[in-house]
Amino acid sequence: MNGIVEKTEDIDLHHSNSAVGGNTGELESDPQFPVDCLPAGMCDIVEAVSALERTPAGISACCALGIISASLGSNLRIHSHPQKICPANLYIMPAIRSGSNKTETFKPITAPLLKFEAERIAVWSATQLPQILTELEIVTSRIKKLKRDFEKSTAPTLDRQQELQKLIAQQEQLKTQTHAPRLIAENATSEALQLLLVKNGGVITSISSDSREVADVILGRYRSKGTDEGIYLKGFSLESYTSDRVGRGNVTIKEVCISALWLIQPDKLAEMIGKRSLSEGGLLPRFLMYYADFLPTPIDRNASTISKQILQNWETIVHDLLRVYRLGTTLHILNLDPGAIQLLDDHYALVLDRRSSELKSLNEYASRWNEQAWRLGAVLHAALHGSNAHLHTVSADTAQSAITIADWFADRQLSILGWSTEIAKKEMRNRVVAIASQHPDDGITAADIYHKRVTPNAEKARDILNELEKSGVLRADRIPRPGGGWLSERYFRV
């Protein structure tokens, strides 16, 4: 892959079985993204950016998939089951170290979406905003005049009162129209995201080349207690959303559609995975994850820049999709060739079989893998056929490509979960040792560790204490209880 060397010596990414194939072994030193599964326009931009910036194709592919998904909004969906229509919005989160050219990789691929939004805002500012401001000024002036008349009159007529009420409602509506139309949000709180959704038809894309602040919001930075992911849970599944807050009133969105592309640092991703509520509540399993741990190669002064034709083709694909689907008013449902349906159903069966066996402890993650394949199928189909995507059925080839990419992400997800689990265990062990050091005379018990919320339960606390005893870090005194039964165990720092 363009001389990129995956770096694994300082963080052990434990390899798990491939998503549905069942192969085992050590983590590949270079988990190459299957770029040959991407349609031509996507493949060209992914390979060109990856070669120029000397970064793995997986980073570019994550960006490209995210931008195509963002260009579809909620108006292109896929008929995935007899009673289910699956949307095409994706949540993608590649983890990349700082100083790895992630921003340079991000920019040319996301540029068409940013350009489209900027041009749309410029047109709106020149044509629609002046008219809105004029109408708002007229209505505001009329309200002031009516209020002055009321002050002079002891008994204003009912008609005049009703007129004032209508004008005030019209004024509030016009105020909401003074906000520029948006396609993109970045570091927004959930409250700000709600308002953006209300003002933009319930659809928004959250993209960021440095998502630490986005992660902090979700981790609960602006909440007194707990995490703050509710709006993203609804936005993935296109559910309705209602929020009642003092001082802001009721916010109701009939159907929320959010797509997300967050480039994040590995430590912040590990912190998010360490929050059990983000896994158990379902947010993190909704994400396609990828940890790009690599060493960039030296700069090649003779390397070619990205051709104008590749950039133009990519922009055309994105802008056409934005016009027809993201900003369109018609809902289009994709149908599939029988061969495509069979492939995706077989994929579901294979994943389901593994969910009842070796993936049982990761069921909340594995349960999303087949759904991701369906969503990826819609995205790849749209990138292949552009604004005519709804006129074509999804082929077996596209379905197979979607499955291959979904399996690639599933493998990467399992690797990340294995890595983060080891980090979490190390942190728990360090905390247990620190607590034991604070009680050199009376020692500690499993109940002490559990009550201090170091572990999720007492059984896990006993496991860690036993591990530390076996490694010689702690010493255990086991004293028979009066009357027999279990031994009383107390652990001391060696």
- Per-residue tokens: 236: 């993935």
Mean pLDDT, residues 435-462 taken together? 87
- H/E stretch holding 370 reads helix 369-385
Q: What pLDDT score does 7 carry?
A: 37
Task: Count CB-CB contacts under 10 A for residue 9.
Answer: 6
List the one residue out of 194, 200, 177 whose CA is nearest residue 70. 200
pLDDT band (50, 70, 90) for residue 287 = very high
Q: What pLDDT score does 366 carry?
A: 95
Record: fold of 5-120+181-411: Rossmann fold (3.40.50)
List the one residue out of 428, 434, 474 whose CA is nearest residue 455. 428
Q: What pLDDT score does 483 carry?
A: 65
Q: What pLDDT score does 339 carry?
A: 97
Mean pLDDT, residues 182-192 taken together? 88
Over its C-alpha atoms, the chain yields an Rg (Å, rounded) of 27
pLDDT tens by residue, 237-284: 999 988 765 455 567 889 999 999 999 998 899 889 988 899 989 999
Q: What pLDDT score does 4 carry?
A: 43
The type of residue at 235 is G
> What CA–CA distance (Å, rounded) separates 440 from 433?
11
> What CA–CA distance (Å, rounded) separates 456 from 430?
16
pLDDT tens by residue, 353-375: 999 888 888 899 999 999 999 99
- Mean per-residue pLDDT over the chain, rounded: 87
- Domain extent listing, the chain: 5-120+181-411, 438-493
pLDDT tens by residue, 70-91: 999 999 999 998 888 999 999 9
- The region of weakest confidence among 69-83, 117-131, 159-173 is 159-173
Residues 6+ apart with CB under 8 A from 138: none
pLDDT at 207 over 80: yes
Task: Count CB-CB contacts under 10 A for residue 226.
Answer: 12
pLDDT at 5 over 60: no
Mean pLDDT, residues 336-347 taken together? 97
Going from the C-alpha of 381 to that of each of 171, 287, 377, 385, 386, the distances in angstroms are 44, 20, 6, 6, 8
pLDDT band (50, 70, 90) for residue 423 = low
Contact 27, 221 (CB under 8 A): no
Contact 433, 473 (CB under 8 A): yes
pLDDT tens by residue, 426-441: 878 888 999 999 999 9
pLDDT band (50, 70, 90) for residue 486 = low
pLDDT at 10 over 80: no
Q: What pLDDT score does 429 carry?
A: 87
Q: What pLDDT score does 173 carry?
A: 83
pLDDT tens by residue, 19-77: 343 333 333 445 799 999 999 999 999 999 999 999 999 999 999 999 999 999 999 99
Q: What pLDDT score does 485 carry?
A: 61
